[in-house]
Amino acid sequence: MAHCKQSRGTAVADPEDVSRLKKNVDEWNAWRRSRWMMERFGPDLQGADLSGADLRLANLEDADLSGADLSSASLRGAFLECAYLFNANLSGADLFRANLSSARLRGARLRNADLTSTNLSSARLNGADLSSVRLFGTVFADVDLSGVTGYPQRAEHHRPSNLRTVRSTAASVSSRGRTAGQLD
């Protein structure tokens, strides 16, 4: 299990952090590397409008993105381990090969998101909307699927995914220990 940093618990994003991230992902990642050891908290991006943003390969580890709008954003290969994504809008986001291990996604909207080869191991998905997500080699290891809507009934399974749940709803109890491709 990952060692996650705490959220600052503020109600609004730091405008400098938002501006730095939107400006250039490579510079953002260099800035994060230069401060990583001295950070007690991850970046504060709560409620930020990042809709449609190109955040490919962004280091958003431990970032607080609660209530952020990441709809239609490209987060391909982004590192979101331990990120706070409470009630975030990730509808239509491209999360191909993103690492969301130990991310907190309670109440997040992932409707129509591409979760191809996405790592969701130990992610907290309570109340998340996974309707019409695209799954292809997605890792759901040690997750709690109770309270998740739209999964597995309305997800698009294009290839088996690793599904090993901690607890699941009645609709997905039979999926324990099987791949998502075997659910159809």
Mean per-residue pLDDT, 35-60: 90
Give this prediction's pTM: 0.83
Using alpha carbons, select from 70, 145, 147, 82 the residue that is nearest to residue 114. Answer: 70
Q: Is the pLDDT of residue 94 over 70?
A: yes
120 or 36, greater pLDDT: 120
At residue 33, φ and ψ (nearest 5 deg) are -60, -40
Asked if 65 and 89 count as a contact pair (C-beta separation under 8 A), the reply is: no
User: In whole angstroms, what is the distance from residue 18 CA to residue 68 CA?
Assistant: 11
pLDDT at 144: 79
pLDDT at 25: 97
Domains recognised in the chain with CATH numbers: 9-184 (2.160.20.80)
User: In whole angstroms, what is the distance from residue 105 CA to residue 128 CA?
Assistant: 6
Mean per-residue pLDDT, 165-173: 44
pLDDT at 163: 65
pLDDT at 182: 34
Using alpha carbons, select from 102, 55, 48 the residue that is nearest to residue 74. Answer: 55
Kindly report the average pLDDT of the chain as a whole number: 83
pLDDT at 10: 62
pLDDT at 162: 66
Give the tens place of pLDDT for each residue, 74-93: 999 999 999 999 999 999 99
